[in-house]
Structures are given as C-alpha cells and as structure tokens.
Amino acid sequence: MATAYDIATQQAEPEQGGLAPVVAVENVYKSFAGHKVLNGISLRVKQGETLAVLGRSGTGKSVLLRLIIGLDTPDSGSVCIHGQYIAGLALDRMGEIRKKMGFLFQQAALYDSLTVRENVAFPLEHHRRDLSKSERSERVRQLLAEVGMDGDLEKMPSDISGGMQKRVGLARALALEPEILLLDEPTAGLDPISSGEIDELILKLQRERQMASIVVTHDLHSAKTIAGRLALLNEGDVVIEGTFEDLQQSDIGFVKEFLQQS
Amino acid sequence: MSDRGFTAVAEINPPLPVRRTDLVSSVTSSAASLFNGFFEWFGELGIFSWRVLTAAVTPPYEWRELIRQLDEVGSKSLPLVAMAGAAIGVIISLEARYSLTRFGAKSMFPATLVYSVIQVMGPVITGLVVSGRVGAGMGAELASMKVTEQIDAIEASAINPYRLLAATRILACILMLPLLTLATDACALLTGWFAQALVEPLSFHQFISSGFNGATFNAFLPQTFKTAVYGLIIGLIACFQGMRTRGGAAGVGRAATNSVVLASLFLILADVVLVKFILVFFT
C-alpha cells in the first residue's frame, strides 16, 4: 500500500505526444462547510500558455487558484505542478515548488507595514541571499519599472490606488522569476482604463517571459485579450474549454447566457 | 398598549408550551457543541504548536525578524512594566508596613517586601502587563494580516509563516519575559524602599542587605525564570488566535480580545502548577 509520502513524491507520467502540462488539476472536489464549491474539475496548462478561468461569482475560481498554489487542499483529486503531486507535501518542500510560482491576489495582499519597495524586495530578501544588497535593490527597481511603479518606491500600500496596488502585487509575484503565474481577478474593481493597462502589462510579461499563466476573472473582455484558451465554470465544474470562438459557437445554454450578459 | 390589550393578545395567541424533550435535546446539543469546540481548540493548538516547533528548529532562521520582535516585546514593554512595578512596590510597602507594625514585626519589612515582590508579585504583574500589551498587539496584528490575505501572500512567496511570524514572536516572548520581570522587581524594590524611607530613615544598602539576608539563589531564580513559561503561553496563544482568525474586522477584534483573556487565564493557571513545581524541586 502506498504511503502518503510515496504519493506526495510520486512523479506524474508525462503526456504522450507533446509537452507535459506544468499545471495539471485532475478531478478535484472541494467543499466548505458542506457547500460543494468544486465538483470534479480537471484542467491542464502547458508552458507558455495562458488559460483564463471564467465564471459567475462564487463558482470556485479563486478556490481553484488556492488549490494550485497549495494554500488549500482538495477533498479529493490531485494537483500536479511540474510533474510533482503537491498533496501532503511539507511546508518547506511545498516552498520549493512555490518558488517557481507567482501569485497575484484579488486584493493584491500587499504587506501593509512595508513600503512598495520593501514589498517587492520581500521574496528576494528571503530567497535570493546570493545577490548583494545593491543587486537586489536594482532588481526591485527593474521590476517596479516594468509595471510602471518605479516612481512610488517609498510609498505605503495605503497611499496608492487599487490599480497601483495590483501593479505592485504583480511585481512582487514576478520577483522570483516564476515559471507559473496565477492571477486572481487582476482587473476586478478597476476602471476600464486601468483594466486595459493591466491587461497590456500581463500580455507584455507573457510575451517576454513565456510563463504558464492561469487568470481567474469574470471579465470576458479581459479574458479574451490576455488568454489563448478559456474555461467557463459553472457549479464547480468546467462547462466548456476552448478559444473565445469555441465559446461563441457553443450551443450550451449557460455559455450563451454568460456571453450575452458579459 | 394597556394591560387589557396584552391580555386580549395573549388570549388570541396563547404561548406555545415548551416541550420537555425539545429543551433536553437543545441543552444536549449545546453541551455537545461546547465539548467539541473545547477539544477542537486544543487539537488545533497542538497542531499549531508542532508546526511552530518544527519551523523554529530548522533553517533558515529568521534572525532579523527575531531581533525586531525582541525590541517589540522587550524594549517597548519596558516603560509599562517599570511603571507597574513601581506602583506595586509602593502598594506593598504601604500595606506591609501597616500589617507588620500591627503585629510588632516591623523589622521584617525589608524581607517581606523583597520576598513578596520577587517571588509573587513581580512575575505575575509582568506576565499580566505583557499579556495585555503584547498579547493584544500580536493577536490583532496577525489577525489583520490573516483576514487581508497577507499571511497567505507570505506562504505563496515560499516563506514559512510559522517560522517568520509565529516562532520569532514566541521566542521573543520567552526570552524577554524574565528580563522584564527583573526590571519590574528592581522598580518595585526601589519604590518600596523609597516609600518606607519617606516615613522613617532606612538606607538603601541597609534595606537590601536586610531584605536578602540568608536568601539563596533557589529562592529567587526559579521564580524569575518561570516567566519564560509565561512568555511561551502569551506568544503561543496570541499567534494561534491571530493566525486562525476568520471574519473581517469583527474577527480581528475577537482575536485580540481572546488573545489577552486566554493568555491571562492560562498564565494564572500555569502559575499554580509552576509554584508547586518550584516548591517541590527548588526548596
């Protein structure tokens, strides 16, 4: 009988023909206090690919991202990152996998007692001790310049707007040069101009870095702009997965309704 | 509405009789829920403690955060415990002088003050003051970080929050409580002597040599260093309550209150055990 350690350290079989997915979610179920949020969902994302996960509020989109980065654990099913099952991994072992992942939280989740500069420097100070202080400072400046925030280095998160906080959160997510980028509602609560700027920024980063990205959003326009593939969720499972054109041509009632309302 | 009106309403809608079985099942269910909650809390505290312990003893060590917390718990609590100690010294001095004079044992004043302060009041007052200041602060800070997903962000950045946030705070409490207790004791003895010296001449040297006459290290050191256990209780409860918070601003408030209340309660309960332990092994 396989032990929890065996299962945790077991490597997933690479897919026949083509690249193995860097993120593979297989038949995942998740409930909170008896309320079923994810109902056997399966998704795969390959290197350099961007998947937008769409759906109404409360359909488990953010929970899916939390499961992928290991902040929550599935009730059943598996999450596999770079061929490694993450269930049951110790926090420090999981940390090694998380170093390859960047996460932008819905509310940015900046450390409110640190400045913009210190927020972005935080992961570098913990994981890139091989770099000198000046090299780390230069890297922070570059990251903030990349997201257009290099003029606000010493501001506190409470002194900048929601859109600016998202940019700083994105810079922090990119600090360790992740191979997988998870974005939770990157344009939620932003005005159309700021949303467009964030979309442009994500597109630019994807072109330059070729990361595997999963973007959770309920903004169809944003999803269409930044993602090559879209997955529409309803009642905890994927209703349809494909390009925007595939969604447009679908006969499924929920898909038609979602596109009409968006 | 008149009395007559109430009577009329009561006649139209007579109160439903409370069935005995409903009452019993409701009480049973509440008791079961309380019982479950009690064991669930201790179970979660056990898991939390294990995670903190394993994080604390494995590298990388968070030295910079530890130093920041030593300053936060130690230096910033110093004025408060010093003032509390000074007040306690005067109170004990006034009370002891009155009681000892009544029983014709005025010469015992220095020893009474020294033993009361160092063995009983100093450690407990320091523990309760630090529990109030540091426990509430840590509980609220971590709870606020939890509800705004900052702790999740730390974890998502591949940093162990049990090591960075909890282990450093708990260790700082353990290391600082004995030192703060020494400060409380010193202030209490100083003001206690001063209050006595205002009434009748007594040199500080005479007060100290008479107070500590015949005392051994065993009489004082265990009582002072037992506050390291208070530090463990304060740090552990505050971090645990803060890091398990749910429910926005109300949750933050609850975490801060629970941190102080539970830490103070466990601190006093632990003192019962510690006093007995010290009496058995150190006297």
* Nearest-neighbour CA in chain A from B82: distance (Å): 28
Cβ-based neighbour number of residue A195 at 10 Å: 21
Q: What is the largest CA-CA distance in chain A?
A: 58
Within-domain flag for B48: no
Question: Given A92, A107, A172, which is nearest B149 (Cβ)?
Answer: A107
Within-domain flag for B10: no
Question: Given B149, B157, B160, which is nearest A92 (Cβ)?
Answer: B160
pLDDT tier for residue A14 given thresholds of 50, 70 and 90: very low
For residue B4, what pLDDT is reported?
52
CA B166/CA B238 separation, integer angstroms:
9
For residue A189, what pLDDT is reported?
76
* Nearest-neighbour CA in chain B from A12: distance (Å): 22
Within-domain flag for B4: no
Give the residue ranges of chain B where pLDDT is below 70: 1-20
* Structure ipTM: 0.87
Is A71's Cβ below 8 Å from some Cβ in B? yes
Interface with A, mutate which of B63, B64, B157 (most A CBs under 10 A): B157
Query: What are the distances in angstroms from CA A137 to CA A36, A115, B152?
Result: 45, 13, 24
Whether B159 sits inside 8 A of A69 (CB atoms) is no
- Please determine, for residue A16, whether its predicted confidence score (pLDDT) is greater than 70: no
pTM of the model: 0.85
Cβ-based neighbour number of residue B128 at 10 Å: 20
For residue A235, what pLDDT is reported?
86
Number of cross-chain residue pairs from A and B with Cβ atoms under 8 Å apart = 57
User: What residues does A181 pair with on adjacent strands?
Assistant: A102, A213
Range of the domain at B174: 53-282
Residues 6+ apart with CB under 8 A from A234: A55, A56, A59, A254
Is A214's Cβ below 8 Å from some Cβ in B? no
- What are the pLDDT digits (tens) for A44-79? 999 889 999 998 888 889 999 999 999 999 999 999
Within-domain flag for B239: yes
CA B136/CA B242 separation, integer angstroms:
9
Within-domain flag for B22: no
Cα dihedral across residues A161, A205, A232, A82: positive or negative = negative
Within-domain flag for B220: yes
- What are the pLDDT digits (tens) for A113-168? 999 999 999 999 999 989 999 999 999 999 999 888 888 889 999 999 888 999 99
Q: Specify the number of domains making up chain B.
A: 1
Label residues B208-230 b or e (16+ Cβ within 10 Å = b): eebbbeeeeeebbebbbebbbbb
